[in-house]
Amino acid sequence: MFAMARCTTLPSTICSIFAPAFEMRYTVPMTTPIALQTEYGQIIHADSLAYMRDSLADDSVDLIFTSPPFALLRKKDYGNVEEDKYVEWFRSFAEQFHRILKPTGSLVIDIGGSWIPGQPTRSLYHFELLIMLCRKLEFHLAQEFHWWNPSKLPTPAEWVNVRRIRVKDAVNCVFWLSKTPWPKASNRRVLTPYSDSMLDLLENGYHAKLRPSGHDISDKFQTDNGGAIPPNLLAIPNTESNSFYLRYCRERNIKPHPARFPARLPEFFIRMLTDAGDTVFDPFGGSCVTGEVSERLQRHWTCCEVVDEYVEGAKGRFHTERDDAEVTDAGYYKILSSAALWNGIEDDALAADGGRTRPKSPQSQNNQPNLTIQSRGMQEVTTHPL
């Protein structure tokens, strides 16, 4: 039996932030419902905070991978929380995360940044969250990652496109945390292909020597380990436009989740931090990408989601007509160096007020800095998507 989700049926922290919107948009069953059961996992149509308290035992989960609602400037349909309330709101979830994680387990949080309303400066809310998790709840920061989305549009438009005083915001922070300093992990699970120069070195050999930087490069450097160790910059485009999930939602008049991350993002961490048969939990399931990847990799999984339409849409990821799980381009992504266009001294002065005065119209190509471009090699950084 379903009941309208009023403040009497939801945790008080959530109700204080989202009411009265919950009364219009959510129907949460009075008992914990399994919306979908698969060979390895389940979608739970319930508030994850209550589910963790009532249904998950201490030290029972190997990996919590999630992308919680961000504290964005503009309100989103999926219920993002105001910046000044965010850390307090998240703490109740984090306390449960710490309880249910195994001593060898990991907590991975994909979280985007935010801008201070009305000015071109960044919020510190996600860093404050990280500090709270480590100093108050005694999580350990195993490593911070950065997810670069090569397909990200130039935003925020006011500061990037109109006033031209900031650059495109295309990177999310991904915090990898653990209960102890020694969570189980192996970077051998996520190696990238060797570069052409490394393949040449492996084939033709390398003379061990001390570099000018002081690094001693030994003959072990030419050992073929099957691939290169990836950096903590993950280049993964988010370009889903006609996937089975979207077609499934469109054919059934279901509104898709608007903040989906690509499957390669959770896959990187699920492969590196868990074994087949381990348990993965996503408390903010959304369209259940975490569950889809876990199912494919034979991990036991649970995704919690409270929004009716998102639960119905998530079922499409496990539909019998689906051919295969979503994957992304396995090619290279290159970051072209701005230095490729540098030549001479700029003939335009920077705005003395730092861009405070809004231009009457967007700058056109004709009034950009007039730099003479000579033939020179493009400097680039090459990284492999995962």
Catalytic (active-site) positions: 67-68, 110
Query: Taking the CA atoms of the chain, what radius of gyration do you get in angstroms?
Result: 24
List Cβ neighbours of 171 (8 Å cut-off, separation of 6 or more).
146, 147, 148, 149
Please choose, from the candidates 153, 65, 155, 175, the residue with its C-alpha nearest in 3D space to the C-alpha of residue 114: 155
DSSP letter at 158 equals I
At residue 221, what is the residue type? F
Number of other residues whose CB lies within 10 A of the CB of residue 208: 12
Torsion region of 161: left, alpha or beta (phi above 0 gives left; psi -120 to 50 gives alpha): alpha
Tell me the β-bridge partners of 209.
Answer: 217
DSSP letter at 377 equals P
Take residue 254 and report the two structure tokens written for it: 């279901």
Helix runs in 110-204, H state only? 125-131, 157, 196-204
Element of type H or E holding 314: helix 308-314
Q: How far apart are CA 348 and CA 338, in angstroms?
A: 17
Q: Find tokens 């990280």 and name the residue.
A: 130
Report helix, strand or coil for 179.
coil
Dihedrals phi, psi of 361, to nearest 5 degrees: -145, 155
Burial of 347 (0-12, 13-18, 19+ CB in 10 A): exposed
